[in-house]
Amino acid sequence: MWRKLTFVTILLFICLFPFISFAEEETKSEKIVVILVPGFSINEADWLIQNEQDSFIWSEAAFGAMNVRPDGPYSYLNNMVTMAAGVKAVGVQGWNSYEIEEEVNGFPANEWTYQLTGIYKTQGLIHPDFHRLNNKNQQGTHRGQVGDFGELLSLAGIKREVYGHSDTLEEQIRYGALLAVDKNGDVDGELNNAVKKQSGAINGQEMDVDYLINKLSTDGEKESRFIVVEWGDLYRLFDQAYYMEDSHFQQERNRQLLRLQSFVEKAREEVDHLWLLSPMMHKQAYDERQQLAPVFYWGEKTGGFLHSGTTRQEYLLSSTDVIPTILNSYGLSNDSFSGNTIIQTESGVVDKTPALQTIDEIVLIYQSRASVLSIYITCLVVALIGAALYGSFGTKKRRTWRYITRLLLLSALWSPFWFLALSGTVKTIGVSGFVVSLIASSFLAGYVVEKGSEKPIFWIGVMTFLLITIDVFMASVLMQRSYLGYDPIIGARYYGIGNEFAGVYVISAIMMLSPLTKWNHKGLSLSLMLAIFFLVVVVLGKNNLGTNAGATLSAGLAFSFFLYRFLVKRWSWRFLFTIAAASMSVLFLFLYMLQLTGEQTHIGMAFERLLSGDVRYITDTIQRKVAMNIKIFRHSNWTQLFITSYLLGAIILWRRRLQLEGQDRQLFLQTGVVASFALLLLNDSGVVAAATSMFCVVSAHYYWLSVSKEENHFAVGKTIQSSQAVED
């Protein structure tokens, strides 16, 4: 009997053993540590990578650069709040973390918190201003809330801990807890014990490596843990740098970097996932426009690089991606956050040179962007004003001056093409070389089309349209590094087609369409118009191409107007408004259909929120777009071009003697004005898109005006009223 029982028991154990092992694997604990190093910049990261000797710890890490721009100005606090909320946010004055026994305004921290909130806390870290922080951000248009992430971890049974601080002699700096608090502002941790007194160190204190490693130890741990270490030594060093002798500062900087490396080497042995990132670079790096923060990651795979779906660019990620990535590591849903999971690519590659070179190129363009665009915009304004004055008063001037005017206008119209085509050359030939190449290429191309073609405006439109289309289909590799493109340090857009080129793209398409109105085969010309119209809308609106909703709707309205004026000879405001309303409805539906496949973008998210009834999200988005337009109008150099081009456009429409004959030119002017107004109203940077588009319209018109005077085809006093039919 006992033999049979023993045999059955052994048999059952053998059969069940795989399932027992599998269950143990499923409940395996995950330990994730995030080391926050304020004051750590790309310069320090580069130094560590280049001076790596025996450990290879940096070679084994995945590396990337992070946009840390908050909702307000750059600061350690604002950047940390943005990272912790998962959306752009700002801090609140007086924010800090305290241990229970510490004093705040003459009271114990928990007593002071009770006075402010009516809640008396007996354990964990104390955050007296937690309610003020979330109230402030709730009133913004992003409505970020600190604590949602920590609450998800808490509900999943994941223990949260915070260690260390960045206190200086003048003030307390404890922002690491922002990344781990729950919705009540609670988290465990020890701030002061993680920092030891050390003679000769900055402020007489530095991080206690032995204490921290003991806290990270995996011995006997069975539960998942999320640990934040605020490594404040570099912050303290750069805070005191102004008062230090240069050679001593460099020596101390190198020593602190090697101490950080030593801690990382030891911490890597104790955890499953290790992140080292900088929420804010030091002031010197910030002033040098080194405003991307380094990120290192050690996990299951070795080496490689980091990027995310938020940026869709190699080596680049956003601070809003940190929370979704950590949630994904724990197997938790991250759908409630707008960021994307950070992706590790090219595992096994230990050479970080490609990433560092790309970052250097980004910084170079960002450093020189303002000066290059300022000079460029001023030149465009001068060219427009000169052409306008000559067009208005220069009827009897010499032929040479008319030719020079036309050459200037054609060169200006070519410039967006060369801004895009030459974008990859900045890192090779430098900023000055790029500017010289841009000017030379634009004038040479203008000369060629003026001498070699009867329709130079058409060919400029064709070439610009083709280049932008090809670039968008190639993931906008040129636009990402163009002065007229979008900047990853600014972070308003990372992929697709930016508003600067969106305006140029729409007008270049109209440049191609206008000559088709003179074809004798109306059916064929209409078919080509519809094909180009469809291509433009798809390129602008598809979620893996242009992803520019405002430009898509603007182009649709402009082309609808174009077709209406081409097909219908009788002007009717009522019919026009009906066409516009119907077009907007169809365009919204088509734009939604373009988002149904592929990765979700901000457009897809907006449709998702709208269909779920979240009207507030849409109104917040509209408010941000309006605020952005107002900000650009007040402070941007583009305002010069916007005002000049719109003023000249109004003069063209108002003055009888500036009107031109010819259906194609009349239709181009009218449709271009409609497109520019639509871009102004429907884009978050509408001032920019409206400026570039109206500039193209006005430049083309004044070119044709000069040609008409040259050929004596100008009909003085011939006025094309808005209510008058366009000629056949």
SS (H, E, C) 78-98: HHHHHHHHCCCCCCCCCCCCE
pLDDT in tens, 321-339: 999 999 999 999 988 898 8
The C-alpha atoms of residue 313 and residue 343 are separated, in whole angstroms, by: 11
The C-alpha atoms of residue 517 and residue 410 are separated, in whole angstroms, by: 22
For residue 396, what pLDDT is reported? 54
For residue 402, what pLDDT is reported? 81
pLDDT in tens, 193-211: 999 998 888 989 999 999 9
Give the chain's mean pLDDT: 87
Helical packing angle, 42-50 and 246-268, nearest 10° = 70
- Beta carbons of 702 and 695 less than 8 angstroms apart: no
Residues 6+ apart with CB under 8 A from 331: none
Which residue in the block uniquely carries the two structure tokens 């109008």? 633
The C-alpha atoms of residue 58 and residue 262 are separated, in whole angstroms, by: 11
- Beta carbons of 685 and 499 less than 8 angstroms apart: yes
SS3 416: helix
The C-alpha atoms of residue 586 and residue 83 are separated, in whole angstroms, by: 38
Residues 6+ apart with CB under 8 A from 565: 667, 670, 671, 726
Q: Residue 20: is its pLDDT beyond 60?
A: no
Count of other CB atoms within 10 angstroms of residue 23: 9
- Domains in the chain, start-ordered, CATH in brackets? 30-350 (3.40.720), 359-599+629-711 (no CATH)
What confidence category does residue 98 fall into, taking pLDDT thresholds of 50, 70 and 90?
very high
For residue 711, what pLDDT is reported? 63
3-state secondary structure 221-284: CCCCEEEEEECCHHHHHHHHHHHCCHHHHHHHHHHHHHHHHHHHHHHHCCCCEEEEECCCECHH
Looking at 2-16, 58-72, 301-315, 343-357, which range is the least confident one?
2-16
Alpha-carbon distances of 722 from 18, 352, 399, 573, rounded to whole Å: 81, 60, 32, 10
What confidence category does residue 144 fall into, taking pLDDT thresholds of 50, 70 and 90?
confident
pLDDT in tens, 380-439: 999 999 888 876 665 555 677 788 889 999 999 999 999 999 998 999 999 999 999 999
In 366-494, which ranges are E strands? none
Query: Which residue would you say has higher pLDDT here, 720 or 141?
Result: 141
What confidence category does residue 55 fall into, taking pLDDT thresholds of 50, 70 and 90?
confident
What confidence category does residue 728 fall into, taking pLDDT thresholds of 50, 70 and 90?
very low
Q: Residue 588: is its pLDDT beyond 80?
A: yes
Residues 6+ apart with CB under 8 A from 155: none
Phi-psi region of 475 (alpha: psi -120 to 50; beta: other; left: phi over 0): left
Q: What is the mean pLDDT of residues 73-102?
A: 93
% of residues, the chain, pLDDT over 90: 61
**276: β partners:** 35, 296
Q: Which structure tokens are listed for 263?
A: 């801690």
pLDDT in tens, 623-651: 888 888 888 888 888 999 999 999 998 88
Q: What is the mean pLDDT of residues 110-124?
A: 88
What confidence category does residue 218 fall into, taking pLDDT thresholds of 50, 70 and 90?
low
